[in-house]
Structure 1
Amino acid sequence: MSVKFEITKTEKGEYHFKLVDGGGKTLLRSEGYNAKASCTNGIESVRRNAVDDARYDLKSASDGRPYFNLKASNGQIIGTSPMFADAQACATAVAATKSAAAGAAVDDKS
């Protein structure tokens, strides 16, 4: 599976990244950053932390759909997944993030 980071810039000038799988589905997305350098630092943090099971915080939305946050060593959220249909889909996304984030290419669309 070809996983990559995509950097985008909003009309308000904020930079965001998302980690997408080979089919274009989002595995993880970031908060907004004021500077591209901060966005790039966020990607590097995902790369460092994605291999560690302890960095994944599994959650359930109010409607019961599962999702996860990826946290840095200081506990700060560096990325949030979309909502998934079921626990298996969420687990698959965690596994893909864990195995591929460190080596994922960056596609700068900003």
Structure 2
Amino acid sequence: MNNPKFQVFKSPANNQYYYRLRSANNEIVLNGEGYTTKQSCLTAIASVKLNAPIDSRYEKKNAYLNYTFNLKAANREIIGRSENYTSSYGRDNGIAAVKRDAPIAPVEDLA
């Protein structure tokens, strides 16, 4: 088992910075949108850490064999998107991992 962590990386395709949250089992449980600066990406991570423990910040999406969630800030802007899950149980476990791991996860700079 690894420790949970945020990873910041820069896409060579569009030169934007992204983050992903890896849980203790090294699975990616949350992804951020593209940011033009590393500082903006780090600010988004700080917002995720702040909002992750709050139940009402999660928006659950249901479709046949495609369950996802979004994490939203207080202003209702999406600050993180989940991977796709094949069941609502898997999705809910993903939310639990974000709630548990995001507030304490360190940031690994891969950019």
TM-score bracket relative to the smaller structure: over 0.9
Q: Percent identity?
A: 37
Q: 29, 32, 41: which is aligned to 1:30?
A: 32
Determine if the alignment matches structure 1 residue 74 to structure 2 residue 75: yes
Q: Compute the RMSD of aligned alpha carbons.
A: 1.2
Instruction: Report how many residues are paired.
Output: 109
Distance 1:60 1:30 in 2: 20
Distance 1:30 1:45 in 2: 11
Distance 2:62 2:109 in 1: 31
> What one-letter code is carried by the residue in structure 1 that aligns with 2:56?
A
Structure 2 equivalent of residue 97 of structure 1? 98
Structure 2 equivalent of residue 8 of structure 1? 9
Q: Match of 1:95, SS?
A: helix
Superposed displacement of residue 100, structure 1: 1.4
Determine if the alignment matches structure 1 residue 83 to structure 2 residue 81: no
TM-score w.r.t. structure 2 length? 0.93
Superposed displacement of residue 5, structure 1: 0.2
> What one-letter code is carried by the residue in structure 2 that aligns with 1:14?
Q
- Tell me, yes or no, if the aligned pair for 2:31 and 2:80 is still in contact at 8 Å: yes
Structure 2 equivalent of residue 42 of structure 1? 44
Distance 1:78 1:9 in 2: 17
Q: Match of 1:44, SS?
A: helix
Q: Structure 1: which 4+ aligned runs deviate by more than 3 Å?
A: none
> What one-letter code is carried by the residue in structure 1 that aligns with 2:58?
Y
- Give 5+ residue unaligned stretches, structure 1: none
- Give 5+ residue unaligned stretches, structure 2: none
Q: Match of 2:61, SS?
A: strand
> What one-letter code is carried by the residue in structure 1 that aligns with 2:5?
K
